[in-house]
Amino acid sequence: MVSEGKKRVWEDYQKEIADDHYFYVRSCIRQTFFPGSETAFLRIMRNDLGKDVFEDARHTTCTGIGYHTDIVPLETTMTIIARHFALMTEAGYTNIIPSCVTSFGLYTEVLDTWKHFPEMEAKIRDYLWKATKKEFKVPENLVHTSDIIYKFRDQIKEKSKISLVNKKTGLPLKVVEHIGCHYAKMFPATGIGGAEFPSVLTGMIESWGGSVIDYPERRHCCGFGFRQYLVMANRGYSVSNSKKKFESMQPYQPDFIVANCPGCSMFLDRWQYTIAELEGITFDDKGMGIPVLTYEEMAGLVMGYSPWELGLQMHQVSVEPLLDKLGIAYKKEEKYLGAHGQNIGEPQKPQFLIV
């Protein structure tokens, strides 16, 4: 494989990312799936990088899951997203940064639709006014929060406490990067590195000392796929897609997987448990599975944050083998202590997956 070829592709797909003053919109599902991730993002941005990040509690779902499953009509989705833009406008911001890849994709799709069909934008403005008496300006800068971390990857490196290097061997950790489909597959020009060879996570990994695995099913969907999972009868298809990826990455012996999408992080983690229970197999050599991180969790670890404060105890696949490789000290007895020191209870142990 010729890495120079990839770099040439990356040069074609760079985009403007605002330097400061962001209107942050959270994901619907990440706070339950990986509750420490968004908190870690805000901590890095505000405390470590000194950036202005604003949130509005009135922000709601973008309807992405409903939209992609044909439950929510397009005009409704657009009006709700227009309301988000109105909240941003009211707060005096022009740069909007969704935490969710599907929201980012949907915002991009809405803005692109309005560009080609201005009459649609006029209609949505009318709907929004009738429903809420709100008006809005379209964002000047729309990027995903992984783009933001990518932008500041070198500043994060300067402040980092550890590298993505195996402490014992001194070798770079081998990382599988997984990009959510809605990040760039719909609009390749909106993704750093494009749709075929995205560099948004690769940039972080390589900047922080790790090495990236390019395996045959790298571009394949994680298996979530909305309809595949949400329709219960299709869940076997969802699992089979994830399994296809795991089998493809297994020969490379990855140390961990990192993803920039709420669903991908969730399903690449949880389906390892499901496959282990269904078939008695894992995709590592110790029966523990391959740890899965969000990019904020990866950044948090690099910055020296406590793994339990990052919420890594919420992962199905145990992260301790990864922490050991990184040389991160942790106390097992603190794993299931909540934010105020109370015991939040240990999950039931799986039958096959070793935790």
Partner 1 sequence: MNNITQHIIIIGGGPAGLEAASSLGAAGYKVTVLEKEEQTGGKLRLWYKLFPDFRPSAEVQEYLANGQKMNSPEIITKAEVISITPEIDYQKVILADGQIFTADVVLIATGFQVFNAEKKEEYGYKIYDNVITSVDLEQQLKSGDAVKTVAGEIPQRIAFIHCVGSRDKKVGNIHCSRVCCITGVKQAIEVKEHLPKAEIFNFYMDMRMFGQNFEELYIEAQQKWGITFIRGRVSEIAENIDGTLQLKAEDTLSGRPMKMNFDLVVLLVGMVPAVGTDAIGKSAGLAFTAGNFLASNDTHFNQNETHTPGIFVTGTCREPLSVAETLTDARAATVRIISWLRDKELKSNN
Using CB under 8 A, which of 48, 56, 196, 320 touches partner 1? Answer: 196
Q: Is 291 in the site for partner 1 (CB under 8 A)?
A: no
Using CB under 8 A, which of 85, 104, 150, 197 touches partner 1? Answer: 197
Residue 180 CA: distances (Å) to CA of 9, 101, 207, 274 = 19, 6, 21, 21
Tell me the number of residues near partner 1 by CB under 8 A.
Answer: 19
- From 161, 121, 190, 173, select the one nearest 293 (Cα to Cα): 173
Q: Is 270 in the site for partner 1 (CB under 8 A)?
A: no
Residue 130 CA: distances (Å) to CA of 121, 125, 134, 181, 295 = 14, 9, 8, 34, 40
If the CB atoms of residues 195 and 312 are measured against partner 1, the closer one turns out to be 195
Q: Is 6 in the site for partner 1 (CB under 8 A)?
A: yes
Angle at the Cα of 252 (from 246 to 257), degrees rounded to 5?
A: 55
Task: Give the Cα separation of 207 and 298 in Å (integer).
Answer: 12
Residue 298 CA: distances (Å) to CA of 63, 222, 226, 323 = 28, 19, 25, 11
Per-position x/- string for 237-266, each x denoting binding to partner 1 as judged by CB under 8 A, each - no binding: --------------xx--------------
Q: Is 2 in the site for partner 1 (CB under 8 A)?
A: yes
Are 308 and 332 in contact by the 8 Å Cβ rule? The answer is no
Q: Is 270 exposed, middle or buried (0-12, 13-18, 19+ CB in 10 A)?
A: middle
Task: Give the Cα separation of 277 and 254 in Å (integer).
Answer: 21
Q: Is 335 in the site for partner 1 (CB under 8 A)?
A: no
Residues 149-178 binding partner 1 (CB under 8 A) are: none
Q: Is 9 in the site for partner 1 (CB under 8 A)?
A: yes
Using CB under 8 A, which of 194, 210, 254, 291 touches partner 1? Answer: 194
Q: Is 5 in the site for partner 1 (CB under 8 A)?
A: yes
Q: How far is the CB of 275 from partner 1 (least distance, A)?
A: 20
Which tokens belong to 206? Answer: 């390589």
Which residue bears the tokens 């949400």?
230
Q: Is 137 in the site for partner 1 (CB under 8 A)?
A: no
Q: How far is the CB of 213 from partner 1 (least distance, A)?
A: 9
Residues 205-234 binding partner 1 (CB under 8 A) are: 214-219
Q: Is 134 in the site for partner 1 (CB under 8 A)?
A: no
* List of residues contacting partner 1 (CB under 8 A): 1-2, 4-6, 8-9, 194-197, 214-219, 251-252
